[in-house]
Amino acid sequence: MMFDPVRQVNRPGWVFVMTLSHSRHMFVKIVFDQSSWTWLQLHQEAFESFRGDPEKIVLDNLKAAVVKASVHDPLIQRSYRDLAAHYGFVMDPNRPRTPRHKGKVERSVRYVKQNFVLGRFFRDITDANEQRQHWNDKIAGHRLHGTTGWKPLEQFESVERSSLIPLPSARWEPCIWKEAKLQSDCYLNVEKSFYSAPFRLIDQKLTIQVTTCAVRIYHDLDLVATHERAQSPRSRVFNLDHFPPHKVALLKATPQWCLKEAAKVGPATLEWMQRYLSDPITEKVRSGFAALGFVEKFTSQRMESACLRALDFDEVGFGSLKRILERGLDKEPWKHLLQSQPLPSASVIPMPQPRYTRDAGHYLNILVTTNK
């Protein structure tokens, strides 16, 4: 367990170890996860530390590298295959449940645990990796190796480094590949963020390429969408062209937009919209947008007349406006209804004496007696 300065919590750390088979020189780094993204970046850092990469890598069958472990036909992650193709090395996944076949790195892992991690104090992961770098260069690299009989760093510099494959001129851009189904809201969940894709592909499985700065979405090898990477988790990155027309209009709707469209219909519609959107408690932009749809269904003249009737009766609500239009009440005269005599108040109407009533005082006496 060590402190994560980003999340401000203690988290379990993992040690990545890559060991060169001849000299036993190592690359060591502590990380907080074993994701595909971290796995690829650690390989790049190791190759840059060695100033070259080996011809063959024997690796564990972790999910970041091997999708399905097998003795004869292992299934390799697509992103790891891209890394190998860029740097020119061959992968040789270890046989399942046989760690002795990669004993050189297994022994290196044990050496790191017993001689570096054990008994040391780290303020956080940054401090741990700074100490790790010093330990690897000044202590581990200059120890007399028990099997080979030489110092790993000296043997690496004098013999092995010249045998490594030179690094490519262009640095590989890390990328990972995923598959996901496009949901009904036209979004894909990728690396804890959401990205849009064309609505015609809803419920279909799409292939996603994620790089450090971009997200590319493919359907049957055709590129259908490209987005910049989200700046923060759980954010949404979208293109309005990916949504159906009725959803695009709703996404553009704001209180100012609703008022502007209502003013085009008439003064009564504008006043109705102003009063309807003035609710300080409830967000009503969606309903205001839906109310403007009555213009196409019932014409602007009827919408204006219905809003005027609703304002006269002080019934500024979506349901009231809809009933007026559907029942045709905007076509009937209503001014005489406002001038009619009001009903008598409830206090004037005589109330009949209820039957079978019990005297309250008598009932209270019974309760008191019973309690005693």
pLDDT of 89-133, one tens digit each?
998 888 777 777 788 898 999 999 999 998 889 999 999 999 999
Phi, psi of 57 (to 5 degrees): -125, 125
Please tell me the predicted confidence (pLDDT) of residue 51.
95
Strand-pair partners of 131: none
pLDDT of 206-217, one tens digit each?
999 999 899 999
Which residue has better confidence, 103 or 15? 15
Residue with tokens 């790790």: 132
**What angle (nearest 5°) sits at the alpha carbon of residue 220, between those of residues 216 and 225?**
25
Q: 49-58, 275-284, 322-331, 343-352: which range is least confident on average? A: 343-352
Please tell me the predicted confidence (pLDDT) of residue 104.
87
Phi, psi of 176 (to 5 degrees): -125, 155
Strand-pair partners of 188: 195
Give the DSSP per-residue string, 280-337: SSS--HHHHHHHHTHHHHH-HHHHHHHHHHHHHTT--SHHHHHHHHHTTGGGS--HHH
Please tell me the predicted confidence (pLDDT) of residue 345.
54
Which residue has better confidence, 70 or 266? 266
Collapsing DSSP states into helix, strand and coil, what is residue 72? Answer: coil
Reported as a pLDDT band with limits 50, 70 and 90, residue 367 is very low
Mean pLDDT of the 281-285 span: 86
**370 pLDDT exceeds 60?**
no
Mean pLDDT of the 282-293 span: 89
List, in order, residues 6 or more apart from 48 with CB less than 8 Å away. 167
pLDDT of 229-257, one tens digit each?
998 888 999 998 999 887 777 777 789 98
- Measured from the Cβ of residue 254, the count of other Cβ atoms closer than 10 Å reads 12
**42 pLDDT exceeds 70?**
yes
**349 pLDDT exceeds 70?**
no
Q: Which run of H or of E encompasses 112?
A: helix 103-112
Q: Are 49 and 28 in contact (CB under 8 A)?
A: no
Give the DSSP per-residue string, 206-262: EEEEEESSEEEEEETTEEEEEEEPPSSTT-EE--GGGS-HHHHHHHH--HHHHHHHH
Is the pTM of the predicted complex or chain greater than 0.85? no
Please tell me the predicted confidence (pLDDT) of residue 358.
57
Please tell me the predicted confidence (pLDDT) of residue 369.
46
pLDDT of 186-202, one tens digit each?
999 998 899 999 999 99
**147 pLDDT exceeds 70?**
yes
**164 pLDDT exceeds 50?**
yes
Domains and CATH numbers, the chain: 2-163 (3.30.420.10), 175-244 (no CATH), 253-337 (no CATH)
- Measured from the Cβ of residue 136, the count of other Cβ atoms closer than 10 Å reads 20
Reported as a pLDDT band with limits 50, 70 and 90, residue 368 is very low
